[in-house]
Structure 1
Amino acid sequence: MSKVYIPEGYQSPLSNYEMQRAIEFIKSNFQANLSNALNLRRVSAPLFVDENSGLNDNLNGFERPVGFDIPDVGANGQVVHSLAKWKRLALKRYEFHVGKGLYTDMNAIRRDEEVDNIHSIYVDQWDWEKIISRENRTMEYLKETVRSIVGAVCETSEALDVAFPSLHVKLDRDVFFITSQELEDLYPDLDAHQRENEICRQHHTVFLMQIGGKLRSGKPHDGRAPDYDDWKLNGDILFWNDVLGRSFEISSMGIRVDEASLDEQLNLAGCNERRKLPFHKMLLDGQLPLTMGGGIGQSRLCMLMIGTCHIGEVQVSLWDHDTQETCEKAGIMLL
């Protein structure tokens, strides 16, 4: 059975050629708006890392990285899941200072992803990271940064509507802030995904905060690795997606762990073996800068701003037979 949802009466908002123009417009304009808003500079980034470095993102802990041997180097490589940890080390190595940050094009393979309208095994996002002072490890600074990112998204979307008059997606700049515990208290009888739908239906643009730790129900709202975000100072940027009629995450981000919060979260997650890895030892010894950062989905943003119903309309990946057949019958071209 296909996991694809096709909204009734849906038609691709642009021709095949215009779709490619719009994707290029979004990617070139948004990265400029983001770098200006957060004082970021573009850097080069790896497609793979040494499997023993501790730099790969463990995501929820069960996803299998794509690995391969490199005979001439004498090491095994892993295709990155994300660059959450690598970026922090890069800020130190590239000699960035407080108030300045980097962004990069991140391409990843997540082979255990369950593919549907908004998920693919191919991940493309803008990964960004910025050095902050200890005084800025606060909820208010986090909220200020979120507003800047949402502003960059809305500026890009408004410019896209001018360049492509047939598009009419309107995004809300006003961000509603709520913690995952407050959201659970508000909708105790709903699951996590249903809660996100309800809050976005009401407020359109939401920053859902404090994700990773257990809630009073005994479960976390969603999984987060214990060794990059501080679970008390992180969150997801969610928009209401009119085409799909659901909440739509475009970014996971946060202020990163310092020595104390990493120590606490490794204990809570039962991951104390990671303390021996090079990255974690540097962090626990205070050898890495204090940072904040996140990832912003490139294909997700294109979907949202153009108004497509399937991620395969804006990126090239592999799809199961049922998905291909369902989309073909609906007149949807998968790239």
Structure 2
Amino acid sequence: MEKTIIPKDYQSTLNVYDTQTAIGFIKRCFEEALTGSLKLKRVSAPLFVDERSGLNDNLSGTERPVTFDVPALRDNGEVVHSLAKWKRVALKDYDFHSGNGLYADMNAIRRDEELDNLHSLYVDQWDWERVITKEQRTIEYLKETVQGLVNAMAETSSRLHTKYPSIKTSIDTNVAFITSQELADLYPDLTSKEREHAFVKEHPTTFILQIGDVLNHGEPHDNRAPDYDDWALNGDLLFWHDTLDCAMELSSMGIRVDSDALMDQLEKANAKDRLVYLYHQQVLNNELPLTIGGGIGQSRMCMLLLEKAHIGEVQVSLWDEETINACQNKIFLL
């Protein structure tokens, strides 16, 4: 999409004061629904980790974490990108067992993020993780979990509409599941983002399965770190955002790598150097529980449910001059 899109005749459904109240309402409602649906307990989340731990999320592998020196440790800390790996270690350390899990209110800085209507330097998300059995490492179980998450969103949307009748957004609970290869076969002449737009426009709640591995045309649908999601058992949850007339990714999630998947994906990604980290050794030695988990964007959920055109309407961040000028007198950036 373009740098900053201003929808024709756009006007926020709620004023700034009501928007702030509604954001808090959405977050409370969704946390209640999510914890009930997936049996999760809230835990405290780290803002930073030791750069030597290997626990930070490498995302697509090109993003630079915010790093700072810690004189007391004679080493560096890294602001987290997400808690993808940390959560799995926490489940072991906190003695969680199969069928139960945790979630954390995570805040992060992604310094290299492109700035547009959907992307910001500041990331706030619910990071969640749940212990599973070996038998649950299946596409069917992944789909069941996705449905539970979507149901929690629909419940939140319904409660929001009751409180603010002027909000018309509703969540379609009929999830369309499609693999990234099937999507590429369906739209062979489109880019991955164009494929998402075309499919989600027809299927407003979509889960794209199996992201990270190379497709038949020689490229992955999207880059995905090789050391937390199993590329055969993961995916992205997208919704159609009427205000911007586009597909919006709200969650990336998946069943996590076991020892076999980790070695296979590290080799494919030419990233076997990561085996020096304790986390990777614990996965290889089967010392960590098998899990499923993901992140759910808080600001993006608020954007979607509150019919907002820019993520800066629901979170405070830093914006470049071009964005500020484009939004002036049209979109109120917090």
Name the TM tier (shorter chain). Answer: over 0.9
Give the match for residue 211 of structure 1: 211
2: CA distance, partners of 1:3 / 1:208: 25
User: Percent identity at matched positions?
Assistant: 59
* Alignment pair present for 1:274 and 2:274: yes
Give the match for residue 333 of structure 2: 334
Give the match for residue 179 of structure 1: 179
Residue 75 (structure 1) shift: 2.0
2: CA distance, partners of 1:41 / 1:200: 32
Give the match for residue 73 of structure 1: 73
* Alignment pair present for 1:101 and 2:101: yes
Matches within 5 A, 1:1-335: 3-330=3-330, 332-335=331-334
2: CA distance, partners of 1:47 / 1:188: 41
Residue 24 (structure 1) shift: 0.3
Q: Please, which moves more after superposition, 64-73 or 128-137? A: 64-73
1:79-128 C-alpha deviation (Å, 9 max, x unpaired): 00000000000000001000000000010000000010000010000000
Q: How many aligned residue pairs are there? A: 333
Q: State the SS of the aligned residue for 2:174.
A: coil
1: CA distance, partners of 2:90 / 2:170: 36
Structure 1 letter corresponding to 2:259? E
Structure 2 letter corresponding to 1:326? A
Residue 326 (structure 1) shift: 1.2
1:193-230 C-alpha deviation (Å, 9 max, x unpaired): 00001110111110000000000010000010000000
2: CA distance, partners of 1:81 / 1:122: 10
2: CA distance, partners of 1:60 / 1:233: 17
1: CA distance, partners of 2:221 / 2:97: 34
So what's the TM-score if we normalise by structure 1?
0.99
Residue 165 (structure 1) shift: 1.1
Residue 259 (structure 1) shift: 0.5
2: CA distance, partners of 1:75 / 1:169: 48
Structure 2 letter corresponding to 1:198? A
2: CA distance, partners of 1:159 / 1:269: 44
1: CA distance, partners of 2:103 / 2:130: 9
2: CA distance, partners of 1:13 / 1:201: 22
1:289-310 C-alpha deviation (Å, 9 max, x unpaired): 0000000000000000000000
Residue 74 (structure 1) shift: 2.0
Measured on the aligned residues, the alpha-carbon RMSD in Å equals: 0.7
Residue 276 (structure 1) shift: 1.1
2: CA distance, partners of 1:158 / 1:329: 31
Structure 2 letter corresponding to 1:217? H
Structure 2 letter corresponding to 1:306? L
2: CA distance, partners of 1:253 / 1:80: 17
2: CA distance, partners of 1:58 / 1:73: 23
1:309-329 C-alpha deviation (Å, 9 max, x unpaired): 000000000000111111113
Unaligned runs of 5+ in 2: none
Structure 1 letter corresponding to 2:100? K
Residue 12 (structure 1) shift: 1.1
Q: State the SS of the aligned residue for 1:309.
A: coil
2: CA distance, partners of 1:322 / 1:280: 42
Structure 2 letter corresponding to 1:333? F
Residue 288 (structure 1) shift: 0.3
Structure 2 letter corresponding to 1:184? A
Q: State the SS of the aligned residue for 1:41.
A: strand
